[in-house]
Structure 1
Amino acid sequence: MNSRRFHGPIDLHAHSSVSDGTEAPGELVQAAAAAGLGTVALTDHDSTAGWGDAASAARATGLTLIPGMELSTRVEYSSVHLLAYLFDPADPALLAETTRIRQARMTRAEEIVEHIGRDYALSWDDVLAQAADGATIGRPHIADALVAKGFEPDRSAAFDGILHWRSGYVKPHYAPDPVTGVRLVCAAGGVPVLAHPGTRGAMNVVPEPELRRLVDAGLFGLEIDHRENLPDAKARLHVLAERYGLAVTGSSDYHGAGKPNRLGENTTAPEVLEALIAQATGSEPVYGAQG
């Protein structure tokens, strides 16, 4: 693979309105091109529904699209997100698991709204009004509904306030454990990367025995260059990446207007993307007109 194919910055984590972003998949690709990116990955939560529209938009630009997904996994009550790239979207086992996760997320969201509605004038229709047709409904849409109703000033405040687990309104939804997630992605021909693993500081980085299990299952890399990873955690993660031969990625985790994250604020080296593509067998990048 010739790195000159990747003619601009590489951002491997972005969300569309299929999950909790605010732009349609095609609009996200156009925004990435306008931001000067050469490559963007579409990584909606537990869904590949945006791949087709994003691919069509990418083919009309000079942008390279990496089809992906952010897979929900869980260790007890702690959520662990796994970025999955270039897997087969029709793989039966992975498809069944993401369907189960989305259904559980929807049920959980309805229960959260029911609980909040006992104390605030919030209804399920209020939440649906904040989501695109076919989107996987989750806490971000509830947050947007709380903002629209005037109960919180913005999405971040809602997550720190009414939607914080300490509020008592929020319960976890079903998700597989991280090792199972890595195995599912690899079995579907994909490449798994642990998403933003340093958000709670070095003391809460994935324990080394657990990381060894993930590596043995097929983990490709760690998303270290991410705005929410804390500096001490980044230092620790670089040590672990070196020790276990893991790739280091950088991404924006862009959500449109849903978060302050901006496209291209963190990026991935071309040689890392080359290695990722070389390892994948489930699907291929979409190269734009100038790719």
Structure 2
Amino acid sequence: MHDRLVDPTTKHTTIPFPRQEQAPPGLTPRMVPQPDHGEYSYRGSGRLEGRRALITGGDSGIGRAVAIAFAREGADIAIAHLPDEREDAEETAYWIRDADRRVELLAGDLREEAHCEELVDRTCAALGGLDLLVLNAAHQRDRDGIDRLPTDGFDDVMRVNLYASVFLARAAVPRMDAGSSIITTTSIQGFDPSPRIVDYAMTKAALVAFTKALAEELGPRGIRVNSVAPGPIWTPLIPATGWPDTLPGFGRDTPLGRAGQPAEVAGAYVYLASEAASYTTGAILPVTGGKPL
């Protein structure tokens, strides 16, 4: 018996998001409506049995959806999150434990090089090693023109989105064996940048180059490096960006006519992490609702 067909244009609500705003980094309980992370829908099939994953930004949004999916596929999870995101991280941990997998919550600031190195050490100590590195955490803010781009804000975006990815990969690669996988999170913004988040878009374009170059370097060692490029996805990052007046139209310019939910992105990460993608490296996998890269 086949699962019934589901119309992707109406699978999730197409009602405009209400006007809302949060201070960064944004928290899930304050979002209206609540995102779908696959808590009640994702079904695993053992594709990541025994694997050990470190997921940055795993407390909420896409990171939470990936953590839930990885756990239900059999992986143990370490979640890197900001101290202010503890409530969200605990909720994610609940779902990982519900899947009978180990979870380690690692609070700290990804802007700090020493913390990134410590994350890898603590993950290996807690989980017994590291096979999957998901570089997902990101920061963005609305920018009202290049002439008003604040240096400190620019530096924050660069350090969270780009520097941390380099610091973490640099620390993790020596600990990873053949068959391991690194997955970055780029964005449609890396290909079709919006001027209101110019610094964020810059980092996502840089991560495309980073992914491709690292895949070429690590291929002979049997470590695959790929990326997922989401389009408009309903996560805490969106109401914390500083553009409340644009939220009613968020995602409506896609061919599917709506924003995506975190649960709809998680499967791409599972595929890239699994043996089904054993001949896939250097790839940028779009999950954009039909918007072309």
> Greater relative contact order: 1 or 2 (C-alpha under 8 angstroms, separation 6 or more)?
1
> TM-score normalized by structure 2?
0.35
> TM-score normalized by structure 1?
0.35
